[in-house]
Amino acid sequence: MEVDDPAETVPAPVGDHQTLLTEPTPTPTPAPSPARAPAPDNQQTQPIEPVPAPVDNQYHQAHPTEPVLVPVYDLTQPTESVSAPNDYHQTCPAEPVPVDTRTTEPGPPTNPDVPPPPKKRRRRRKQFPEMIPSAVVNGLRLIRPHPLPAENSPDVRGDDPSLSRTHRRRRKITDLAKEVDVEALIAISVGFPVDSLTEEEIEANVVSKIGGAEQSNYIVVRNHILARWRSNVAVWLTRDHALESIRAEHRSLVNSAYTFLLHHGYINFGLAPAIREAKLSSLLDGLPKANVIIVGAGLAGLVAARQLVFLGFKVVVLEGRTRPGGRVRTKRMMAGDSGDVVAAADLGGSVLTGINGNPLGVLARQLGFPLHKVRDVCPLYLPNGRTVNSDSDSRIEVSFNKLLDRVCKLRQTMMEEVKSVDVSLGTALEAFRRVYGVAEDSEERMLLDWHLANLEYANATLMSNLSMAFWDQDDPYEMGGDHCFIPGGNERFIRALAEDLPIFYDRTVESIRYGVDGVLVYAGGQEYRGDMVLCTVPLGVLKKEKIEFVPELPQRKKDAIGRLGFGLLNKVAILFPYDFWGGEIDTFGHLTDDSSMRGEFFLFYSYSSVSGGPLLVALVAGEAAIKFEQMSPVDAVGRVLTILKGIFSPKGIAVPDPLQAVCTRWGQDHFTYGSYSYVAIGASGDDYDILAESVGNGKVFFAGEATNKQYPATMHGAFLSGMREAANMLRVAERRIVVPPERLHSVFEHYNDVDSLFETPDLKFGSFSVLYDPRTSDLETNALLQVEFKGDKSDSGRLRLYGLISRKQVIELSEQNGDIKRMQMLNRDFRVKLVGRNNLGSVEESLITCIRSGRSRLTGESHFDSSRK
């Protein structure tokens, strides 16, 4: 039995495939290969240190070379890596957003023998159009018509200096306004609101005042920087590049937006060579860094680890499995005399659900992975193999959507009148179905059940568990654009992300203790110490209380863990000797007359065009997914084959014997206990936010798909949550100088007030005092300016205001005669707005931290507890 796979092996042949079956190929279980030799038994404490990247040799080694001599039903999930086949890339459309020219809508059938046109379908989430007024502009989804004042743009955006004078003159304001619009759309696709700041931005003090002109200008600047990097994600966008087309007087906005986007992983992230080489830590040298332990090497953990290393933290990742990726798992299936039929099957996360703004799309571009658009065409087949009549198909789809609309209206009324009442989406839909007499004959009922199964797949649970009020709370944020596959499977991302990271495999974390001194994490009899811990384990693991938190998690968090749902979706992946279903479609559906089993193999994904071989993946959702976990894998594969024969035999197409098959058991997997999260009755989107809250005063952080209110249950949601927490940890680390607890008090007291730093300024002239960035003497770098106004009006008799200017400007200012001229220069020429201590933004705060840090080094203060080094 493998660590990460509770699936049974096939003990006996099934049906007419007896001759094909043997015992499954034994799967090598990789020996744990930590970076360092494990601590001796008597040494229980294992402090974290920079360690060489632990290459899990088994994981990174090539696929076992022993040929599979006979066709096998391999019902295990071996832990060897998947090397993506190279030869099928040519067949896939080029990045970034593929347009699959092969997909055409067939015309109406001309005779009864010709199957009716297949319908367009996709994993469905969005169903309430009136709730989400949307328009599609240039292929990007505009959530609301954005009122961003175009007239703002010329104020902020200067002309590109690279343009000739004549050209520059020719550029009209309207061109700029158009650019601003396009940049706004790009920002929206990444998840920024149209005309307001995100909570993250507010928390990072990106502007001195919420609302008003400064904020509007900031948004234009932020969108511009974001769009500029997104236009070429292979390069590292420097601050100077960002400044190029923005007017000089908005330098502080550029600084603020650039720092925000950089620290929060919106720009300069990923795996392009230029990005990998850049070490942000060197740019930030002098900032306090912390030792971070990350629990879990799934997408969230890997992304956070990379970003934290990049930000200059010391990181170690503890992973319970013997491989990275968690719920992203690509199984290399192999058969044939010399292993010549191969295919990469995604047993967990597979479809990039919306490519616009998707960070995984950025990674794909950087790594040169092509994308394959999942074609929307999806024919549905009745149990007798007949293709569903297109009229009934359309009619029921329309009725189904109307039912959902009615539920939407009902819930709006309920929310207004009885706020706390919630029922299941299933109950509400069934009530309306009866009232309106929808799908009363058996074929229509099967069709409706198919749509319900599709919803149960999207939410990984039964309709009867879903909150009517909030099941689709994430719809407004949905990534726009095509749904795509990555040829060769998503493990290609995982391998690239995990490379060079200090990951310890086979380390199941049992407890996390936290207090003022930091954190202690226990895994496999060893103790790891750090300043902070990031827990990325799935919600299923938290629900089962597999990790003990000491002290206990706050009741509020425990309640949210209890309320949110964690559901089930399973898959059967089958490798055939050849593609008998036809390469023109990526999906087809199957109807059943047993309502309770509507989710059993209701949808087939064809991976022929992307996996490298003739591979079909059958989905099991809803109630069927739960029963499936108890079903023998042999029976399961037998049932899939019966369905396939039912569909294809009447068409005169013989279904060949499979070469290999894999069944998942995500519910029995001890590192997840399910597939992904959903909003259960009584829960709401707020519970995702509560799950994301850190505890222990900035000691214990949480990431993972179930901590992402906007993008739960997805790979990109996990990715973005990792980035979010890296930024949160940076913010905490910046605010808290990480010093031995016994020295914390005095150090904080000493440096708490920025004015104490100005007691010994680097330069003073008149009422102006200046502190330089200790890391560099570059004339373009920022300096913190303090201007002291003396008078009787303020309480203390003195008013001190602050601003950010470059060293060069400091010199110019100091050369002026008298404070009045200096103030004029500051306002008129430099356009610097002085603010009070509390309104300093993130750029100023990080500069202050650097200055403090530099000073504390001079006075012998340490940033790290030496005993932990």
Ligand X SMILES: Cc1cc2nc3c(=O)[nH]c(=O)nc-3n(C[C@H](O)[C@H](O)[C@H](O)COP(=O)(O)OP(=O)(O)OC[C@H]3O[C@@H](n4cnc5c(N)ncnc54)[C@H](O)[C@@H]3O)c2cc1C
Which residue in 606, 675, 710, 856 binds ligand X (CB under 6 A)?
A: 675
When binding is defined by CB under 6 A, the residue of 30, 34, 286, 296 that contacts ligand X is 296
Q: Binding ligand X by CB under 6 A: which of 121, 228, 321, 495?
A: 321
Measured from the CB atom, is 549 or 671 closer to ligand X? 671
Cα–Cα distance, 657 to 644 (Å, whole number): 11
297 interacts with ligand X by CB under 6 A: yes
Q: Is 298 in the site for ligand X (CB under 6 A)?
A: yes
- State which of positions 705-724 bind ligand X (CB under 6 A): 705, 713-715, 717-718
DSSP per position, 466-511: BBTTTTTTTGGG---S-EEE-TT-THHHHHHHHTT--EE-S--EEE
Is the bond leading into 551 cis (omega within 30 degrees of zero)?
Answer: yes
Residue 632 to residues 75, 488, 595, 598, 643, Cα–Cα distance (Å): 10, 28, 22, 19, 17
Task: Select 329 or 822, whichever has its Cβ closest to ligand X.
Answer: 329
Sequence-ordered alpha helix ranges (H) in 278-389: 280-283, 299-310, 359-367
Segment 457-516, which members bind ligand X (CB under 6 A)?
508-509
Q: Which CB atom, from 411 or from 546, has the smaller least distance to ligand X?
A: 546
Shortest distance, CB of residue 120 to ligand X, whole angstroms? 18
Between 201 and 491, CB nearer to ligand X: 491
Helices and strands, counts by H and E, the chain: 28, 31
Rounded to whole angstroms, the Cα distance separating 611 from 554 reads 45
C-alpha to C-alpha distance for 384 and 618, rounded to whole angstroms: 18
Nearer to ligand X, 21 or 343 (CB): 343
Q: Whole-number minimum distance, CB 628 to ligand X, in Å?
A: 12
Contact 536, 295 (CB under 8 A): yes
Nearer to ligand X, 614 or 717 (CB): 717
Return the residue of 327, 598, 800, 863 that touches ligand X, per CB under 6 A: 327
In the complex, minimum distance from the CB of residue 703 to ligand X, in angstroms, rounded to a whole number: 7
Looking at beta carbons only, is 286 or 357 nearer to ligand X? 357
User: Based on CB atoms, which residue is closest to ligand X, 482 or 865?
Assistant: 482
Measured from the CB atom, the residue of 124 and 764 that comes closer to ligand X is 124
DSSP per position, 530-585 = ESEEEE---HHHHHTT-SEEESPPPHHHHHHHHHSEEE--EEEEEE-SS--S-TT-
| Smallest separation (angstroms) from ligand X to the CB of 728 | 16
Q: Say how far residue 582 (Cα) sits from the centre of its chain.
A: 33
Which 629-668 positions form the footprint of ligand X (CB under 6 A)? 666
Kindly determine how many residues on this chain lie close enough to bind ligand X according to the rule CB under 6 A: 41
User: Is 316 among the residues that bind ligand X (CB under 6 A)?
Assistant: no
Structure-token match 């990526």, residue found: 586
Residue of 84, 187, 295, 810 interacting with ligand X (CB under 6 A) = 295
Six token digits for residue 150: 């175009």
| Among the residue ranges 240-248, 291-299, 495-503, 858-866, the one whose residues contact ligand X (CB under 6 A) | 291-299
Element (H, E) at 449: helix 442-459
Closest among 336, 342, 338, 271 to 87, alpha carbons compared = 342
Cβ contacts of residue 546 below 8 Å, gap of 6+? 510, 537, 670
Residue 567 makes contact with ligand X by CB under 6 A = no
Q: Using the rule CB under 6 A, give the single segment among 29-37, 531-539, 552-560, 819-827 that binds ligand X.
A: 531-539
Indicate whether 318 belongs to the interface with ligand X (CB under 6 A): yes
Instruction: Report residue 18: phi and psi, to 5°.
Output: -50, -45
Shorter beta-carbon distance to ligand X: residue 258 or 711: 711
Cβ 738 to ligand X shortest distance, Å:
24
Q: Are 299 and 311 in contact (CB under 8 A)?
A: no
CB 227 within 8 A of CB 219: no
| Residue 706 structure tokens | 């179930």
Q: Should residue 326 be labelled a site residue for ligand X when binding is judged by CB under 6 A?
A: yes
- Site membership for ligand X, residue 270 (CB under 6 A): no
Residue 183 CB, nearest distance to ligand X (Å)? 26
Position closest to ligand X via CB: 298
Q: Phi and psi (nearest 5°) for 157?
A: -85, 120
Footprint on residues 532-551 left by ligand X (CB under 6 A): 536-538, 541, 546-547
Contact letters for ligand X, residues 55-74 (x by CB under 6 A): --------------------
Nearer to ligand X, 264 or 724 (CB): 724
Contacts of 254 (CB under 8 A, 6+ apart): 221, 225, 239, 242, 243, 246
* Cβ-based nearer residue to ligand X, 348 or 502: 348
The minimum distance between CB 858 and ligand X, in angstroms, equals 41
Shortest distance in whole angstroms from residue 441 CB to ligand X: 33
Site for ligand X in 92-121 (CB under 6 A): none
- CB of 780 vs ligand X, minimal distance in Å: 39
Integer angstrom CA distances of residue 583 from 336, 605, 608, 655: 21, 11, 7, 15
Site string for ligand X, 344-373 (x = CB under 6 A): ----xxxx-x--------------------
Nearer to ligand X, 386 or 670 (CB): 670
Of the pair 71, 326, the CB lying nearest ligand X is at 326
Report the chain's C-alpha Rg in angstroms: 29
Residue from 5, 100, 183, 319 in contact with ligand X (CB under 6 A): 319
Amino acid letter, 190: V
C-alpha–C-alpha distance, residues 573 and 346, integer Å = 8
- Which CB atom, from 106 or from 525, has the smaller least distance to ligand X? 525
Interaction of residue 328 with ligand X, rule CB under 6 A: yes
Can you tell me which of 589, 704, 803, 841 binds ligand X, judged by CB under 6 A?
704
Tell me how far apart the alpha carbons of residues 161 and 138 are, in angstroms, rounded to a whole number. 27
Binding segment for ligand X (CB under 6 A), chosen from 292-300, 377-385, 686-694, 802-810, is 292-300
Residue 813 sits in the site that holds ligand X (CB under 6 A): no
One residue of 30, 71, 265, 320 binding ligand X per CB under 6 A: 320
Least CB distance from residue 483 to ligand X, whole Å?
A: 8
Angle 359-367/491-498 helices, nearest 10 degrees? 80
In this complex, which beta carbon is closest to ligand X, that of residue 205 or of residue 461?
A: 461
- Give the DSSP per-residue string, 137-177: ETTEEESS-----TTHHHHHB---TTS-HHHHHH--HHHHH
Q: Give the footprint of ligand X on residues 568-597 (CB under 6 A).
A: 569, 571
Place of tokens 């992975």: 369
Query: Distance (Å, rounded) from C-alpha 525 to C-alpha 520?
Result: 12
**Which residues of the chain form contacts with ligand X (CB under 6 A)?**
295-301, 318-321, 326-328, 348-351, 353, 508-509, 536-538, 541, 546-547, 569, 571, 666, 671-672, 675-676, 704-705, 713-715, 717-718
